[in-house]
Structure 1
């Protein structure tokens, strides 16, 4: 049974619970003040970029009323403990840029992703009394204990990487903590589930490319979480099998409850867990109504249904919370903006989830996975970086970089070596 949202809130605030006469909502707030709730997907940086010719000029406004779902006052009201701010730029169909069938035509995505990362870094720097950078679970707790919102960085879509593992490694150095293997478009690395409707496959098996397989290994090596949100089912299966580290879905739902290609099917959920043939991981449940369904009618109770369904397969220690705030055009009733996080915690408490289980859902489960990913990275630290390149690139070796004629930038022996590499045809 799915109760109307207002009735849900009334019930949560009137029934007593394990804390004597306090309401489930009171219990939720108490828990959130003791243990951080981490939201793994907030698109606030794209709102800043979308509304402002000079995006950095808008950052001071975050400490007052700001368009969209998220600003600092509402995060504080919602007792948000930590957020993954998203480095993202829309796929080719939105930007009007065509990378071509071989993904080699240059686009502005790498530039845009660097500017989005710059926005995030400046958000944190300009609001030090509220936001504190974090990458590890230890740093999340440090920020939380200091009364700050732990600020982590996620990256959504490999179309942002310019087909380059070198770019990935630099993003790792700049603090990116997870990478979503696709957004709504295919990339040189992996196959996507698309925007919601059918999408024609372009890679063998509609899964990872050879470069994508190297990418997963490199993510393990540098300690970036492998995020399977948005990917095709085949990409999910391959990445789970290939990754030495646990995997994540940073914002997804259960396909058994709502048949949407962005949601995770039960047969793939069964690959997550302990035991032979399984991989550890965590599935962070999204608030976006098209993935929750039906709409109208998507409410906080329905989000909890997805969490409980997923937990019924993978365990309560492998689920979490992901809003997708500022990245969606409609919101769930009862979870309309960043002030409403306590409602989902209260809803699960009202269903019998214990305080300890809720500490896991709010962030403990995710931080355990982060620690395991860090442990794998530490084990692989002596491995050399992958030298793989996109097989369809035509710019390497860079035989045109030396200029030409007598105005060459190469030493003579390098010029001679390049000339020997150049195919020559005998005159007829």
Structure 2
């Protein structure tokens, strides 16, 4: 059976005793996993396929027809079909300044092409779905995921990874929400005007604007609640996580993270923060979706495997409950997946591993996607509750470009009364 040899090799590398051919009928477990995946969608909340498409050709849209046959990397339609993927969040992302040798400056005012690039990536996602309607179907809410799944399509959703390319503006956030973005990661590997990041794993200088959410970032979280966009805490500093959990009226999410207790990496979630999530009194009813990135899984990148991913899921579930965990590969955003989950064809291997550990059908439906869909529905309930609120008027306080000075030479393009007001306005050179 496809993937079986790889699966057994991966399980043999695990740090703990687990499934072997001598222990049970692995073929039967694999068949059971496929059956479960045919009954309820497995949803991956972090797939970086769009950035691969953008990097393969000077004209990225010319790559889209190849998605139906084969693409280099971890994800294409045949791989997703082989892996019985029910839905995926395709990510909008552009690099932080340090990726491209730039500098945002101490107040994040450095001009970059990030906003342009993120719009182009969003266009790739939309055209990708549009050009492969026999396989992909756009989804935004849980009901859309179910509709696509029952139609035999891969539900295709849009996530946005980072706030560094938003131009220090809540206006861009509102427009991205209107264009279909369903989650926003509050930082990537760099600090922003909204929040502090945990970086990429190495030493990182502290943000000039505090260790967690800025006041502007708090406005962002409130606005995301109002818009029905999920607040994603992957990549954020521990204090940003705490601040957002305390502030958000809706469930928060980690769209691709692991457990720091199992692998001490800043991208993973520590137990004290996990303890803030769950069904108990005063807890945020969010979800942590477990990543396949070897560096975050451990114990070393060379030995990270499918069993170890299941360890992370089980550790997180031991604190937050099994109805607050899910799956997030980070495919096409890393050099390799863990052993046994090398690409999008291998999702069943993880379900086999959880079956071998005694997870029942209801729990597996949950970890595959039903937990996530419940969270999405709760986020939409909060949006409905906040529908009477007006958009936030907040502006990043360090911006020097507002009020706008667009009156032309000697303000000649302005009505006289406006010109008088502009000429009397104090200058803010200190910014």
- Length-normalised TM-score, structure 2: 0.94
Note the C-alpha offset of 1:232: 0.4
1:379 and 2:385 aligned: yes
Structure 1's 52 and 239: CA in aligned 2 closer, same or farther, altered over 3 A?
A: same
Structure 1 residue aligned with 2:276: 271
Query: 1:3 touches 1:301 (CA, 8 Å); kept in 2?
Result: no
| SS of match in other structure, 1:206 | coil
Structure 2 residue aligned with 1:53: 58
Structure 1 residue aligned with 2:361: 355
Structure 2 residue aligned with 1:305: 311
Q: List per-residue Cα deviations over 1:19-53 (Å, max 9, x = no partner).
A: xx961111101100111000000000000001110
Aligned counterpart in structure 1 of residue 425 of structure 2, from 393, 417, 421: 421
Note the C-alpha offset of 1:277: 2.9
Structure 2 residue aligned with 1:31: 36
Structure 1 residue aligned with 2:221: 216
Query: 1:159 touches 1:187 (CA, 8 Å); kept in 2?
Result: yes
Structure 1 residue aligned with 2:199: 194
Aligned counterpart in structure 1 of residue 74 of structure 2, from 61, 69, 72: 69
Structure 1 residue aligned with 2:45: 40
Structure 1's 271 and 99: CA in aligned 2 closer, same or farther, altered over 3 A?
A: same
CA distance in 2, matches of 1:14, 1:34: 29
Query: 1:12 touches 1:24 (CA, 8 Å); kept in 2?
Result: no
Superposition pairs of residues 8-407 of structure 1, within 5 angstroms: 11=19, 23-293=28-298, 294-398=300-404, 400-405=405-410
Structure 2 residue aligned with 1:408: 412
Any unmatched runs of 5+ in structure 2? 1-6
Q: List per-residue Cα deviations over 1:347-387 (Å, max 9, x = no partner).
A: 00110000110000000000000000000000000100000
CA distance in 2, matches of 1:89, 1:210: 24
Query: 1:12 touches 1:23 (CA, 8 Å); kept in 2?
Result: no
CA distance in 1, matches of 2:162, 2:194: 10
Note the C-alpha offset of 1:267: 0.3
Query: 2:74 touches 2:331 (CA, 8 Å); kept in 1?
Result: yes
Q: List per-residue Cα deviations over 1:121-145 (Å, max 9, x = no partner).
A: 0000000000000000000000000
Q: Provide the aligned C-alpha RMSD in A.
A: 1.9
Query: 1:15 touches 1:23 (CA, 8 Å); kept in 2?
Result: no
CA distance in 1, matches of 2:134, 2:180: 20
Note the C-alpha offset of 1:295: 2.1
| SS of match in other structure, 2:149 | helix
Query: 1:191 touches 1:235 (CA, 8 Å); kept in 2?
Result: yes
**Which 4+ runs in 1 deviate beyond 3 A?**
6-17
Note the C-alpha offset of 1:423: 5.3
CA distance in 1, matches of 2:74, 2:387: 39
CA distance in 1, matches of 2:13, 2:201: 30
Query: 2:13 touches 2:305 (CA, 8 Å); kept in 1?
Result: no
CA distance in 2, matches of 1:230, 1:59: 29
Structure 1 residue aligned with 2:3: none
CA distance in 2, matches of 1:336, 1:256: 24
Note the C-alpha offset of 1:63: 0.4
- Length-normalised TM-score, structure 1: 0.94
CA distance in 1, matches of 2:157, 2:357: 30
CA distance in 2, matches of 1:267, 1:235: 14
Note the C-alpha offset of 1:270: 0.1
CA distance in 1, matches of 2:283, 2:11: 40
Q: List per-residue Cα deviations over 1:47-84 (Å, max 9, x = no partner).
A: 00011100001000000111000000000000000000
Note the C-alpha offset of 1:331: 1.7
Query: 1:39 touches 1:323 (CA, 8 Å); kept in 2?
Result: yes
Query: 1:74 touches 1:337 (CA, 8 Å); kept in 2?
Result: yes
